[in-house]
Structure 1
């Protein structure tokens, strides 16, 4: 296996001239407790012609020490803390492979991931990005696994209209042709969340995207996931949507979608904020949603939740308490599975498999 341009058991120097077919970019920030498992999952790949590039985005824990233990099995690039997008971009610039794959340092790959995706890209030149199914697991209950497909559809082909509605691509899974970054640019370093969603939309404009219908990765959910910052996700998601609908659209693939997409974005966040007891913000978001598109009153439980919010925060709290006391399901169930749960980076409505970040690669 060519990790950092080396064969298993060899030093980095011995095979430094060997060009890998796949470059794996792992950005990390203060995840010394997780990154070894992520790296091990790459070292366990059945595909041999790959290099591993770990970009340490200014970690202050024991990340550097942990990475040294891997010796020549990977290339480590250290930089001052600049954020997830910048860390990924550093990895892209250093990569030499024909295909690039990204793995956040708290997630995991299954052994056949790289080989199956390389085969798909080799066989279908019109495809620029390949992604796959992912299982979501929680540190507190690692045996409980939820497929990403529970939250999102996984289309193939020209999927731009799907992508602007929701980030359907699980963050541990994309493999991308290297030359696409020359066409669409690097990750947007001004975004502090949803940066991967923005990238997949840009890629979706210029090529087809393919889905491998197999579980090839695991996405770790824990209390430090940056996807938990719903305000940051909302603001950055709105910026992603503004970029998407402001870009030239000669094929008119997005024609007529703007009002619906923005209104659902506000509605999903409004319902999520209602669930968290943030009634004033929920009322504001839901009013924006139905103002943009009155049909959103019939979307999920928007009408019922908005009616409660219009009564005021005190009344909303009393009604929810009364409902619980009556032994019924909590009103929070109204925020159903399509509500934002957060991409660790990235994202859109539904489970956001992108990670938001506060100027760090990960770990906040």
Structure 2
């Protein structure tokens, strides 16, 4: 017998983050909307996270898997989900009390297949209701995600709300990707109609800490490289007609990674991404960026060359 469908399945992957997970679960328990389930996937934690997950009471489905990465963990949760829509929540983030109610209101009004949420950043303790308040949803609706390409907005996995059938058709998150997998999913469902972007209120608290993927340049380089490769391989839908929209999205991801690589002294990574994305940036008329980045790369190269020759001279002397 099929289990009765509910409105939302909240899928929470976790690896060695007990302290953060407690706040995430607490934020879910404060939801004012009632038609939801919670699925926690422990991705082979080696600390006391697994014990904490097992101790969780209430209607929470718990899965433990061998360490396989966050994408596979999310997909594992989606396989057993009963919700019409999937809500992804990273274990270091939190929902605000009105999040599901807001999503439900947006779905009732616009019937989007894909939704992106607005975040509010915080450190240490989750944001209080004095810092952020609920308001009537302000929503921009587009034909699809790619139609939003020209307008930048941060979209991490915790910002993605997607109809379960659409997620299944897309084969979910790419199991082999643990960086850039959020944008990869959005690009693969980029022509699903319609797409809604919530501009207010904030519904996700994004925790800023030292272990954020956004602070790990090696992971960012890996994610950017994957997006460029998958576009080159023709994996993303829309054909030639939507190529400009796709490369606009990918360019917005790649540009800051090139600059971050230069700042961290990763000249080889910066040069590789620059070369692979060069014609993409030419087509989207990002000429100022190409010139500025080329100057920075050249300066970095000359600086490294000067150091090399100085060390060689010192060794000879």
CA distance in 2, matches of 1:86, 1:185: 11
Q: Please report how far the alpha carbon of residue 293 of structure 1 lies from its aligned counterpart in structure 2 after TM superposition.
A: 5.1
Are the aligned partners of 1:283 and 1:309 in contact in 2 as well (CA < 8 Å)?
Answer: no
Q: Please report how far the alpha carbon of residue 142 of structure 1 lies from its aligned counterpart in structure 2 after TM superposition.
A: 7.9
Normalised TM-score (structure 1): 0.69
Partner in structure 2 of residue 299 of structure 1? 289
Are the aligned partners of 1:289 and 1:296 in contact in 2 as well (CA < 8 Å)?
Answer: no
Q: Partner of 1:98: helix, strand, or coil?
A: strand
Indicate which of 65, 81, 90 corresponds to 2:76: 90
Indicate which of 87, 99, 107 corresponds to 1:101: 87
CA RMSD of aligned residues (A): 3.5
Distance change >3 Å, CA 104–CA 291, structure 1 → 2: closer
Distance change >3 Å, CA 208–CA 168, structure 1 → 2: farther
Normalised TM-score (structure 2): 0.78
Indicate which of 4, 25, 45 corresponds to 1:59: 45
Q: Please report how far the alpha carbon of residue 248 of structure 1 lies from its aligned counterpart in structure 2 after TM superposition.
A: 6.7
Structure 2 runs not aligned, ≥5 long: 133-138, 308-317
Task: Looking at secondary structure, tell me which structure has more helix per residue.
Answer: 2
Matched, 1:135 2:123: no
CA distance in 2, matches of 1:256, 1:71: 48
Q: Please report how far the alpha carbon of residue 259 of structure 1 lies from its aligned counterpart in structure 2 after TM superposition.
A: 7.0
Structure 1 residues 277-326: Cα deviation after superposition (integer angstroms, max 9, x where no partner) = 3345445554665576566551284254234224232669xxxxxxxxxx
Structure 1 residues 29-51: Cα deviation after superposition (integer angstroms, max 9, x where no partner) = 11111101100101100001111
Structure 1 residues 188-239: Cα deviation after superposition (integer angstroms, max 9, x where no partner) = 1111311121111112222221012211111112112233332232233222
Are the aligned partners of 1:296 and 1:302 in contact in 2 as well (CA < 8 Å)?
Answer: no
CA distance in 2, matches of 1:216, 1:141: 12
Distance change >3 Å, CA 52–CA 142, structure 1 → 2: closer
CA distance in 1, matches of 2:296, 2:182: 31
Q: Partner of 1:236: helix, strand, or coil?
A: helix
Are the aligned partners of 1:28 and 1:57 in contact in 2 as well (CA < 8 Å)?
Answer: yes
Partner in structure 2 of residue 76 of structure 1? 62
CA distance in 1, matches of 2:180, 2:302: 33
Distance change >3 Å, CA 51–CA 256, structure 1 → 2: closer
Distance change >3 Å, CA 161–CA 312, structure 1 → 2: farther
Indicate which of 155, 158, 177 corresponds to 1:191: 177
Q: Please report how far the alpha carbon of residue 255 of structure 1 lies from its aligned counterpart in structure 2 after TM superposition.
A: 3.3
Are the aligned partners of 2:152 and 2:252 in contact in 1 as well (CA < 8 Å)?
Answer: no
Partner in structure 1 of residue 314 of structure 2? none
CA distance in 1, matches of 2:58, 2:158: 24
CA distance in 1, matches of 2:263, 2:56: 44
Partner in structure 1 of residue 243 of structure 2? 255
Distance change >3 Å, CA 19–CA 164, structure 1 → 2: same
Partner in structure 2 of residue 31 of structure 1? 17
